[in-house]
Amino acid sequence: DVQGAFRSAKQELIDLRDRHARVVNVFKELGVKDIHDTEACVEVLRPEKDRAKFIVSYKEFLKTYGNLEHRQEARKYAADAKAMGFINLRARNRYRDDQLNIMGVGDKVSQMIDEYVKASGVDPAIPPIDLLDAEFKSHVTKQKSDRAMASEMEHAARYHISKKYNEDPEHYQKLSQRLSDILKKFEDDAASLRKGLEEFIETMRAGRQKDETGLDPETQAPFYGVLHSKYEERYGKASPEKRSQLISMTVELVEIICQEIGRVNFWNDANKQNVLRGLLIDRLDHPEISDDLDFVEPLADNLMEVAKYNHTRLTT
């Protein structure tokens, strides 16, 4: 009936007011009083649990707003809905967090947010800029403060390390530790943190360099990294003589790997993979490395994993 419909609309307006207050309160609880201070809002969403709390509250607000956006009483919430949409996209790009999406809130509301975000200079359809992209440095310098620039670099570096880790675990583990050291050393000095991260990013962009081992940085060094680090975890620091043996062993192992993984459909053929695993175990099961199969077999599996993630560069 008419009276029931009136009560329903009135209740929805109350829900809209409450859900708006709830999402605004997410930022107030994190110390940000003005949701139009985009950078402050993005920065306080650094912890994943706070991003999760934000997106749940924001989507509830948007869904209710979508039901009422034709009503005069709801229009006062439009500016905040758009501002939060910009915060959401900026946070999604910075933290590489796919949970920060507004799927399911309705086409009209999604279109309104997308148009506002585009007008603010960000295309929702374009993924976050990669650390290796030629425009990355320019993207960073567009941020409004040293802290914001540092945050962009930090999370681009974290994402890059995570994405590339399996290709060269030992190398990227060292980079991860170095990043942690920089963040800890300069946590209270935004300008020094920005400078330290700029230098770190340049190191990452340069990639692994040839070192005293003489091994190829792309095709051999990742395997040496695994072999050397696993050996030292088990048997302690390797002597110069032992390192030399490990280098020679790496060259032999990579030759075996390249020959085997080049076979047709290798990674979809369990029998071919078992042949390679057996060859690696046979070569590793040697006094110069170890005669302990409990060590050698998992090590062979580690090398197989690195080979899989480096298949293209090993076979071209």
Question: What is the per-residue pLDDT for 57?
Answer: 97
Give residue 54's pLDDT: 98
- State the angle between helix axes of 190-206 and 146-164 in degrees (0 to 180), rounded to the nearest 10: 30
Is residue 133 over pLDDT 60? yes
Q: What's the mean pLDDT when you consider all of the chain?
A: 94
Percent helix, percent strand, percent coil in the chain, to nearest 5: 75, 0, 25
Closest CA to 81 of 48, 117, 43: 117
| CA–CA separation, 30 and 194 (whole Å) | 23
| pTM, to two decimals | 0.85
Long-range contacts of 305-308 (CB under 8 A, 24+ apart): 305/166, 306/166, 306/167, 306/168, 306/169, 306/222, 306/223, 306/226, 307/223, 307/257, 307/261, 307/276, 308/267
| Residue 5, CA atoms < 13 Å, CB-side half-sphere | 2
pLDDT digits (tens, 9 = 90+) for 143-161: 989 999 999 999 999 999 9
Q: Which of 14-23, 44-53, 116-125, 218-227 has the lowest mean pLDDT?
A: 116-125
Give the tens place of pLDDT for each residue, 118-131: 998 888 888 899 99
Strands (DSSP E) along the chain, which ranges? none
